[in-house]
Amino acid sequence: MSWYLLSVYLHILATVFWIGYALFWTIMIGSLRKSFDAKESSRLLDLVNQAPWPPELLPAPYRVKFPGVGWATLFILVVTGTSILYFQSVTADQVISGELFFRPFGCTLAIKLIFVLALLICQFVLSYRLAPGVIYLNAGLSLVVVSLSTRLVH
């Protein structure tokens, strides 16, 4: 298997994981807000956010708190996404000069990268405070990034 295919497969796998991560938070928020008052749902969300992951699959010292899972997934997405662009002959000079962004592919890529930056900001906020609005925004942005990604491969 080539490095390019490995990058693509890892990118897709990490994307599926990221969407699941975003949907998990969205479902948790919706369920808790319907079942409990704001103070109690906030306390329960904080408990989930501080829980070590993956539970019982790894010895305790090797587990991470739930936001760490999001950061690891985003790291994999950034590394594999950069690798995919490298294999598609996108150079740093094209990006820095802006030459890349005057083609349809580059324009879509630029929009996608803006949304990815917004996802990074959401993840940063969610690492410190579980705000329901940010959780919903994170899920929505994730779906937009996926739709832009499918447009890039067409």
pLDDT category of residue 65 using cuts at 50, 70 and 90:
confident
- To the question of pTM greater than 0.85 for the whole model, the response is no
Is the confidence at residue 133, as pLDDT, over 80?
yes
What is the model's pLDDT at position 69? Answer: 83
Sign of CA dihedral 131, 140, 28, 50: negative
For residues 122 and 134, the answer to whether their CB atoms sit within 8 Å is: yes
Residue 23 in tokens: 């949907």
Q: Label the pairing between strands 64-65 and 52-53.
A: antiparallel
What's the token pair of residue 20? Answer: 């699941």
Position 17 pLDDT exceeds 80 = yes
What are the two backbone dihedrals, phi and then psi, of residue 89, each rounded to the nearest 5 degrees? 65, 30
Cα(83)–Cα(41) distance, integer angstroms: 40
The mean pLDDT of the chain is 87
Euclidean distance between CA atoms 57 and 35, whole angstroms: 30
**What per-residue confidence (pLDDT) applies to 60?**
67
Q: For 68-94, how does the pLDDT look when each residue is reduced to its tens digit (9 = 90+)?
A: 888 899 999 999 999 999 999 998 899
Count of other CB atoms within 10 angstroms of residue 116: 20
The per-residue pLDDT for range 23-46, each reduced to its tens digit, is 988 888 778 777 888 788 778 777
